[in-house]
Amino acid sequence: MTVHADDLAPLPAGQLTPPVPIKGKVTRAIRLPRSPKVIAGLVIIAAFAILTLVGPWVAPYSPNDNSFAQNLHPSAAHWLGTSNLGADIFSQLLNGARATMVVGFIAGLVATVLSVIIGISAGYLGGGADEGLSLTANVFLAIPGLPLLIVLDSYLPTAGRSNTLLIGVIIAITGWAWGARVLRAQTLSVKRRDFVEAARIAGEGRIRIMVFEVLPNLLAIVASSFLFTMLYCIGTYVALAYLGVTSTSVWNWGTMLYWAQTSNAPLTGAWWWFVPPGLCIALVGTGLALLNFGVDEFINPRLRAAGLSRRGTRQAGLPRHPKLGLTPVLRSPSSRPGASAPQTQGSASGPAKVAR
Amino acid sequence: MIPLTRKLMVYVVTAWVAITVNFLLPRLMPGNPIQTMIGKLQGRVTPSMQRAIQLQFGVGLHQSLLTQYGNYWVQLFHGNLGQSITLSAPVSTVLGGTLPWTIGLLGAATVISFALGTLLGIALGWRRGSWLDGLLPVSTFFQAVPYFFLGTVLLLVFGSDLHWFPVLGNYQRGLTPGFNGPFIFSVFRYAELPAITIVLSSIAGWMLGMRNMMITVLDEDFVLVARAKGLPTRKVVSYAARNAILPSIANFSLAIGLVVSGALLVELVFNYPGVGNLLLQAVLNQDYPLLQGIFLVITLTVLAANLIADFVYVALDPRVRQEG
Amino acid sequence: MSAAVAPVTAGGGPVNGPLHLGDPVLEIRGLCVDYGVGEDAVHAVVDASLTLRRGQVLGLAGESGSGKSTLAYAATRLLREPGVITGGEVLFHSRPNAQSGPNAVTGTADLLDLDEGELQRVRWSEISVVMQSALNALNPVASIGHQITDVLRAHRPDLNRAGRTNRAIELLEMVGITGDRLSSYPHELSGGMRQRAMIAMALALEPQVVIMDEPTTALDVVTQREILEELIRLRDDLGFAALFITHDLSLLIELADEIAVMYAGRLVERAPSESLFRAPRHPYTHGLLNSFPPMHGERVAMTGITGSPPDLRAIPSGCAFHPRCLHAMDRCSVDEPQLVPLSHGPVPAGRSPREVACWLHDPRSAVPVPEELAQPDPAGPAPDAPAAQQQEGTS
């Protein structure tokens, strides 16, 4: 049996684990996450989601308002100081949240939808369709994303560069290939399950099977893929903005970094200008990655922190994950039968050390 | 070696796609960017430059698209990537001077990141629940930080403020390049901070992937059998690790793509005279020939790296070596 | 501290000669195994006692989840987390032979007391394991030759490279695989060949005890037969003691000398195999025997056992089997029966007394023993021989 490298359930870096197969249809209740990592991730993302929605309204000033004194340190009036043109940085940050998060979200969504369609189709339909789609995915995967985007975007006319939706879609085009490959590998294994075979024999159409039988079993992986892709899209969008490839008049965190860089903020020590946007990007990214931990553990139960329960191990003095091949022995003295058991033929009385 | 042939075909097709995209883009983009570019050079167009532009973009000639395509390929085979508008030199010459620096920095950083990340991942997977687990959220945070931001912060803190590392550039000005001690030493010193940036940003991926795979593999029966055989612990770990590392190598193509993108940005921050800086110049000045040349070379280099990774994979996993 | 051990190795040849056959080699006493610690712990094995004797095959039978694999792996400290051993002892009486290597040790030890280094010395050279699925139990990226020589490298420092290779080829040929397969990978072999390779691997150091965890379950019937015959032959040649775990009692007919039956983590019956098949004493054993049709003989009505095995977190009170038992009495739902010897006549040397854990066979019980559980025992004394002392249910 040939095992192609593609078939070995490759998952995004950070989730290199094959999932435990889900038996039958997915009707289990969704359990609430208890891992502290996941809860932290949820909190972070929720906070930034709120920021996305209300940011521009909550901002004290307009981000383009250059009427203030220049290069002010953070103060009560300007929480993050002002830029070298005299604009309030905090307002820029709040405004920038929207474009960054929205583009990241939409690009992630588009890329995930594309990867679902292409990946599941390639895996389920097999044959020529699979070959063609897989080749397409591999080609897109092999071409490095950022250089391609730089080339594409620099060819765009100015009008195109400020169209965030267009930029988002173009970013999505470079970001779907990975998820498609993962979903294809998973579809191949789900395809062999009995309930899919049963549906096929019952005469269900191929598209119906893909949507209603295969897809529900892959939801966790789709979720993980979405989180990872959104992370990638935000990072790429910010990078493009930082380079000045996208329009510099649209406010996002990357553009802030662009302006900060071109005004030499790092060298003049104006940390309040370039640290906050970078930090926000990092926080959003960390939140997404933490959520991904949670989805990972859901997909692959072996990764859950379970082992022996915390309380139990503390009482017993055991490590939470005992060494493989060294099953712990927790005997109370009374549980040893050696003292009172009758002698049986040929055995020593009680446990004796090995004679050397 | 049939699977390897398949992979090879993918790369050949990818290279072809990249070249064709390079060919088609300027001709298809709305707003006629080439004309705009030529317009900017008003008065400064030498006949040789004119010829170069014609060859590259087919402007001014009345040839069919197919003929232009053919000519494009002919030029490529001669190593002619066009003429850089801003630098007034052949693109291939310009790239020849800068590409080695990028490959050196990127190659070294990637190797270190992969090796270190893999080793840490093995340790994390084998010794679950130890203090090492704290490394996971830390490295995740670093991975979420944009490459260029991390570079900027490190540059300021460790370079400018603490003066632990030299900054900006790839070797100390005034030294003569060549295989001499001071020069090589200087090159290493200047590469340290950019390399550290790349390693810090990319290590989380390798580490987490290896850890997760180790945990999965440790559940397999053959690892328990290795224990039951009374083999020394390092043998047991190595058996598990040899199996757990396979997906990391299979996923190399994704990882290298991300690292390359990040490394380009890091070069910008540190003013490292590699391909990244060149790319930015080309973008700012709309130097399309240079831009396309860089894109092509980057793509081909990444493909070569992927090919090497695939060879390594086949060497490590006997299951893919033959049909049936 | 290596061997001041040597007297056994000097003679060469199988040490498990007629002098030692029938002597206990592995004694499990009162073993208790839990999954998890604290209040939520699940009791997977409760107070299990077995004696494995040299040169004999002890079959351990039961349904899935009865605890048979748990018992075997716990005894060798190979049980995965969250397994914890909470009581009992596992005495290993070691008399190594020439193939165990210069680091072999003699004497008796409680495996549950050993530290990691000591366990490593005993493992594989004295006690080895054959697992159910060879595809999972063999390292997919290493050749089978390598997987045999790695134990040789670890336990036989006296062998050089050539010696190891020769021994590996010798082992493969012993199980019917040609020597040129030494460099093959597991996926290149058929299912039956893989299982044979695993057996060869397990016998590499001619261990004293081989634990076989459902070694033929994953195979087709024809291959199953071949492997079983192979195992019988090897046992005759090499003289090891085997613990053969299976859910399929029919396999044990020819293979096992003695059979122990487990239910819900407890041993319910133990008897020589002939006795068990012809004259089962426990209702569960009887039910199991009537769950598979005999190939020959007259047609019988299939009965099977109603109900299903209990969830280990909610074991019925008293006897765990009573909800499914056709002969359950009032007492059965209240008191848990202990595994006690059936009769107290003299026991032949090299044998353990026949035992059962059932109130039906309590001599003070007023209820007569049902006919199907009172068949004449072909091996032992009559089942209703009056006994001088009957314990209440000792440990």
Interface partners of chain C (CB pairs < 8 Å, 3 or more) are A, B
Q: Which domain holds residue C94?
A: 24-256
Contact flag C187-B229 (C-beta cutoff 8 Å): no
Pairing outcome for strands C24-35 and C42-53: antiparallel
| C residues 62-101 closer than 8 Å to A (CB) | 73-74, 77-89, 91, 93-94
Quick check: C221 pLDDT over 70? Answer: yes
Contact flag A10-B248 (C-beta cutoff 8 Å): no
- Provide the b/e sequence for B258-293 (b: ≥16 CB within 10 Å): bbbbbbbbbbbbbbbbbbbbbbbbbbebbbbbbbbb
Residues A305-343 pLDDT 10s: 655 666 666 666 777 788 888 888 888 766 555 444 333
Mean pLDDT (whole number) for C297-323: 81
Of B10, B29, B143, the CB nearest to A139: B10
How far is Cα B10 from Cα B303, in angstroms, rounded to an integer? 10
Residues C115-129 pLDDT 10s: 888 888 888 988 999
| B residues 69-128 closer than 8 Å to A (CB) | 128
How far is Cα B91 from Cα B96, in angstroms, rounded to an integer? 8
| A325 or C270: which leads in pLDDT | C270
- Provide the b/e sequence for B171-199 (b: ≥16 CB within 10 Å): beeeeeeeeeeeeeebbeebbebbbbbbb
pLDDT class of C3 with cuts at 50, 70, 90: very low
* CA distances for A282 relative to A89, A285, A301, B215, B315, angstroms: 18, 5, 28, 28, 38
**Structure tokens, B225:** 């059998």
Start-to-end C-alpha separation, chain B: 12
Mean pLDDT (whole number) for A96-107: 90
Contact flag C133-B220 (C-beta cutoff 8 Å): no
pLDDT class of A353 with cuts at 50, 70, 90: very low
Residues C222 and C266 in one domain: no
Residues C61-76 pLDDT 10s: 988 888 899 999 999 9
* CA distances for A355 relative to A273, A339, C63, C125, angstroms: 74, 20, 39, 17
Residue at C57 is within a domain? yes
Domain count for chain C, please give it. Answer: 2
Residue at C9 is within a domain? no
Residues C267 and C323 in one domain: yes
Residue at C109 is within a domain? yes
Q: What is the DSSP string of B84-132?
A: -TTT-SBHHHHHHHHHHHHHHHHHHHHHHHHHHHHHHHHHHHHSTTSGG
Residue of A nearest to B263 (CA): A146
Q: A155-164, B93-102, C244-253, C381-390: which range is least confident on average?
A: C381-390
How far is Cα C46 from Cα B104, in angstroms, rounded to an integer? 64
pLDDT of residue A87: 81
Residues C210 and C276 in one domain: no
Contact flag B213-A17 (C-beta cutoff 8 Å): yes
- Within 10 A of C203 (CB to CB), how many other CB atoms are there? 21
**C120 — contact with chain B (CB < 8 Å)?**
yes
Residues C172 and C198 in one domain: yes
ipTM for this model: 0.84
Residue at C102 is within a domain? yes
Residue A182, amino acid: V
User: The whole model's pTM is what?
Assistant: 0.81
Instruction: Quote the strand ranges of C178-247, DSSP E.
Output: 209-213, 241-246
- Runs of H (alpha helix) within C50-160: 68-75, 116-122, 134-137, 144-155
| Contacts B31 to A, Cβ<8 Å | 157
Residues B164-207 pLDDT 10s: 777 777 777 777 777 777 777 888 888 888 889 999 988 888 89
8 A C-beta contact, residue B306 and residue B110: no
| Contacts A241 to B, Cβ<8 Å | none
Q: A46-55 long-range CB contacts below 8 Å, 24 or more apart?
A: A48/A97, A48/A101, A48/A280, A48/A283, A48/A284, A48/A287, A49/A101, A51/A94, A51/A97, A51/A101, A52/A97, A52/A98, A52/A101, A52/A102, A55/A94, A55/A95, A55/A97, A55/A98
| Contacts A288 to B, Cβ<8 Å | 144
pLDDT of residue C380: 55
Residues C326 and C203 in one domain: no
8 A C-beta contact, residue B154 and residue B193: yes
DSSP code for C375: P
Mean pLDDT (whole number) for C177-204: 90
Residues C118 and C234 in one domain: yes
Residue C276, amino acid: L
**C343 — contact with chain A (CB < 8 Å)?**
no
Q: B60-66 long-range CB contacts below 8 Å, 24 or more apart?
A: B65/B27
8 A C-beta contact, residue B233 and residue B172: no
DSSP code for B156: I
H/E element, C84: strand C83-94
Contact flag B222-C136 (C-beta cutoff 8 Å): yes
pLDDT of residue C166: 93
Distance of CA A51 to the CA centre of its chain: 20
Interface partners of chain A (CB pairs < 8 Å, 3 or more) are B, C
Residues C212 and C280 in one domain: no
Residues C286 and C232 in one domain: no
Contact flag C37-A346 (C-beta cutoff 8 Å): no
Cα angle: C105, vertex C153, C9; to 5 degrees = 35
**Block mean pLDDT (10 aa), chain B, length 324:** 71 83 73 66 65 66 75 79 74 84 88 93 87 82 86 81 72 73 80 88 88 90 92 92 89 81 84 83 78 83 85 84 53
| Contacts A15 to B, Cβ<8 Å | 208-209, 212
Beta bridge partners, C128, equal C210
Q: What are the backbone dihedrals phi and psi of residue C93, each rounded to the nearest 5 degrees, phi first?
A: -100, 105
pLDDT of residue A27: 42
Residue of C nearest to A355 (CA): C107
Residue at C66 is within a domain? yes
| B residues 35-54 closer than 8 Å to C (CB) | none
Distance of CA C89 to the CA centre of its chain: 16
Residue at C390 is within a domain? no
- Of C227, C256, C285, which one is at a domain's C-terminal end? C256
**C278 — contact with chain A (CB < 8 Å)?**
no
Contact flag A155-B216 (C-beta cutoff 8 Å): no
Quick check: C345 pLDDT over 80? Answer: no
| Contacts C114 to B, Cβ<8 Å | none
The CATH number of the domain holding residue C77 is 3.40.50.300
Residues C246 and C309 in one domain: no
Burial of A316 (0-12, 13-18, 19+ CB in 10 A): middle
pLDDT of residue C146: 93
Residue at C132 is within a domain? yes
Residue C84: which of A322, B215, A350, B227 has the closest Cα?
A: A322
| Contacts C123 to B, Cβ<8 Å | 227-230
8 A C-beta contact, residue C332 and residue C319: yes
Q: What are the backbone dihedrals phi and psi of residue A113, each rounded to the nearest 5 degrees, phi first?
A: -60, -45
- Runs of H (alpha helix) within A59-126: 89-125
Residues C213 and C320 in one domain: no
**Structure-token match 């991390």, residue found:** B150
DSSP code for C341: E
**C36 — contact with chain A (CB < 8 Å)?**
yes
- Provide the b/e sequence for C330-369 (b: ≥16 CB within 10 Å): ebbeeebbebbbbbbeeeeebbbbbbbbbbbbbeeeeeeb
**Structure-token match 């170069």, residue found:** B52
Torsion of CA C287, C288, C293, C296, to 10 degrees: -100
| Contacts C143 to B, Cβ<8 Å | 318
**Structure-token match 């550290």, residue found:** B196
pLDDT of residue A95: 85
How far is Cα C178 from Cα C181, in angstroms, rounded to an integer? 6
Residues C275 and C349 in one domain: yes
**Structure-token match 């994953």, residue found:** C218
- Of C232, C256, C280, which one is at a domain's C-terminal end? C256
Residue at C181 is within a domain? yes
How far is Cα B137 from Cα B160, in angstroms, rounded to an integer? 28
What mean pLDDT, rounded, does chain A reach? 77
Residues C201 and C274 in one domain: no
- Whole-number CA gyration radius for chain A: 28
| Edge-to-edge strand list for the sheet holding C127-130 | C127-130, C209-213, C241-246, C57-61, C258-263, C266-272, C355-356, C340-341
Residue C64: which of C210, C219, C248 has the closest Cα?
A: C248
Start-to-end C-alpha separation, chain C: 37
| A16 or B202: which leads in pLDDT | B202
Helices A145-155 and B252-270: angle between axes, nearest 10 degrees: 60
pLDDT of residue C198: 92
8 A C-beta contact, residue A233 and residue A227: no
Residues A73-84 pLDDT 10s: 777 777 777 777
